[in-house]
Structure 1
């Protein structure tokens, strides 16, 4: 190959990388994830260990107040609460708001990871949907067929 082709290839790779970076930046800054990141204080020391997708934020406000602020801007698909916290489920993400002294800790996490971690609090409360379950037709002879 001639040197000018290498330059053209390098420019194309750089343009593609720039487009991918812009998409990722704008994807994080919109939706409930972006709202939390823009309005609450990042607290990396409170991230859940072993969960790379988890991000923790804090607020001096109580969990019900934080929940109302978030849900006023971004309506969740499902919402539940108990003495341990408030659980907001969005299409791919979940927000878990728990007491932290007089304020709150807000965990942003993948919805599937949140369900696995907090299933004892959620049980069948969250209206869970999965593409895997939609095609399931039963498990025994003659069932669901």
Structure 2
């Protein structure tokens, strides 16, 4: 990796721009879905783990509520978009094309937020189960 970094730094500026303009789209297309699929829950897990180790657990109920609300919002938008009035061919035949596009973007955004909260909620669920198990095994 170090050798690759040094060879990239040795390139001239136009060659660096050309190399990045060719490789970055390929990397984004290939690894974007993978990073999204695994990255968002990992970020939620990391935030939850950080707050767990620092002893800040007061926001658990708020995060659980936010997770539930974003999941319900995603489901509601999905079911709304399946309604026949919101079916479009994207050729301008449906006057609701702009609204449909905004609703689809909102659905994807809510789904991503829900997926991020899933990491937090999953970590807290496991940690709460472990703490209960420890209390049962060795009562204080």
Bin for the TM-score computed over the shorter chain: under 0.3
Larger Rg: 2
* Larger RCO (alpha carbons 8 Å, 6+ apart): 2
More helix by share: 2
Q: Normalising by structure 1, what TM-score?
A: 0.25
More strand by share: 1
